[in-house]
Structure 1
């Protein structure tokens, strides 16, 4: 297979990693705004597009019949343009917005049935949230801001401050414990918000476009911080963004939304290598493909006359990272998983991707 055939091939269905259990399972989720919202789902109105539904009923379907699963320890990114429904979706998951229909199963139990004390416990103990707007308490020191969630839980002062100090060190803010929010830069304030969410040790951590208001340099720094923290603490993260570069950098898998609907779910290389439709294809058209696609997209079957004594690489190796090895090997590079030869890659396949690096070939 050459890279020119990538857009036509069928990529493997993107499903949660079988080696990791599913922590969150979303089934048929709807959120309809309007006075007749409860009359839309399950009726012919649900088949109308967004504009026709608005004209006919006065309702807006912000989230339309969305289903997906998230693995424990996964970074799952939801992305789309403004108005696509991505922020409404994440607010439905933690019940900041009440869904109109569907199920949100946390470890197999539907949290949409929670109310009162049980719902409060869900938000305090199992879910954490990092918002775009930091929401820090201006009259409290950094240490007290980070400890605030533990204070609400009723944790003793000495214990909560010790935990807050520990998390501040984790996010690189040791030494700023006594500062007030207005004495910090935007990036540092966002680190405080991240520390506050981590302090309560949530099972699932939600990020609602947390870096979109930051300068590009600080934004990259915070993206790298999220990657580092994920490697260190291994939290399940659901990250909302409108930025494709951010989604590709952070996500184990990416869900793309348009007009409230799920368009495609896949790993970064699946989204770039096999876009589901023209909408996704336009989204990824400027992505350097060699930075995202892996060897499995360009490997070919070994020919009878191919020497098979060359280097070995995993099919999950990004083409950019494999280029030096492939171009200098002098013979086909073997693509191997668990001792099984899956195919080979030569300079011809790599150069074909690099030559078309600015978009789809």
Structure 2
């Protein structure tokens, strides 16, 4: 679906990351781990085709007619719009709102457990509820590839766990690239995990070899091997160049 070849991004005389090679396949959930500032969100922006400053080398090849949607960490709901209109935002912005899009938005809100809150203003929703609305809006786009940029990181533990399960259930037929700081989240949800890391403060970041957890997602952490993999990921994230 997406094939990235030898991708490098440079700002002035500083290279953020270099020689990134990554393929994203249909109906696969891939997680990308890395420390703050290493370039994870920037890589998502490049895949999404969002204009990004800097000098870009390499290629990002996306199959024809592949539609891409983005779910960011902040829900970016418009407070002056109703919950339904936030879900059908594309139709609202482009004058395509209709009884059909309204019903579709309500159906998706029902799927994410928000139908009983339709009468509320966005300001009355909790953080978890706002992310549920944002997830419904992402589903409304009917995209093939979903880019998730730490969408659960600001939530409390219970809401985060619930939203992880819900997102996995609703996105099973999609391709997903999840950026996260949380090794446990990556292990619960992913078929493949990669770490974007710099082995030295003054060197550019590169991708690690993939880690492939066994078992069906979303996984429960009652398996000893998952704790071992989590420790391995933590060591990979904190690894430094010798000397």
TM-score category of the 2 structures, normalised to the smaller one = 0.7 to 0.9
**Structure 2 counterparts to residues 258-277 of structure 1, below 5 A:** 258-259=197-198, 260-268=205-213
Unaligned runs of 5+ in 1: 1-22, 35-58, 110-121, 270-286, 294-355
Give the TM-score normalised by the residue count of structure 2: 0.82
Q: What is the match of residue 297 of structure 1?
A: none
CA contact (8 A) 1:288 1:359 kept: no
- Mean Cα deviation higher: 241-250 or 172-181: 172-181
User: Matched residue of 1:194: which SS?
Assistant: helix
Mark the structure with the bigger radius of gyration.
1
Unaligned runs of 5+ in 2: 199-204, 215-220, 233-243
Q: What is the match of residue 218 of structure 1?
A: 159
Distance 1:66 1:76 in 2: 15
- Select the residue among 7, 14, 22 that pairs with 1:60: 14
- Select the residue among 52, 62, 67 that pairs with 1:126: 67
Equivalenced residue count is 218
Which structure's relative contact order is higher, taking Cα pairs within 8 Å and 6+ residues apart?
A: 2
Q: What is the match of residue 104 of structure 2?
A: 163
Q: CA deviation at 1:241?
A: 0.3
CA contact (8 A) 2:184 2:230 kept: no
For residues 7-55 of structure 1, give each alpha carbon's deviation from its aligned partner in whole angstroms, at most 9, with x where no partner exists. xxxxxxxxxxxxxxxx111111112122xxxxxxxxxxxxxxxxxxxxx
Matched, 1:145 2:86: yes
User: Matched residue of 1:64: which SS?
Assistant: strand
Q: What is the match of residue 24 of structure 2?
A: 70
Give the TM-score normalised by the residue count of structure 1: 0.56
- Select the residue among 39, 59, 64 that pairs with 1:103: 59
Q: What is the match of residue 238 of structure 1?
A: 177
Distance 1:159 1:63 in 2: 44
The 4+ residue runs of structure 1 with deviation greater than 3 A are 356-360
Matched, 1:135 2:135: no
- Root-mean-square deviation (CA, aligned residues, Å) is 2.4
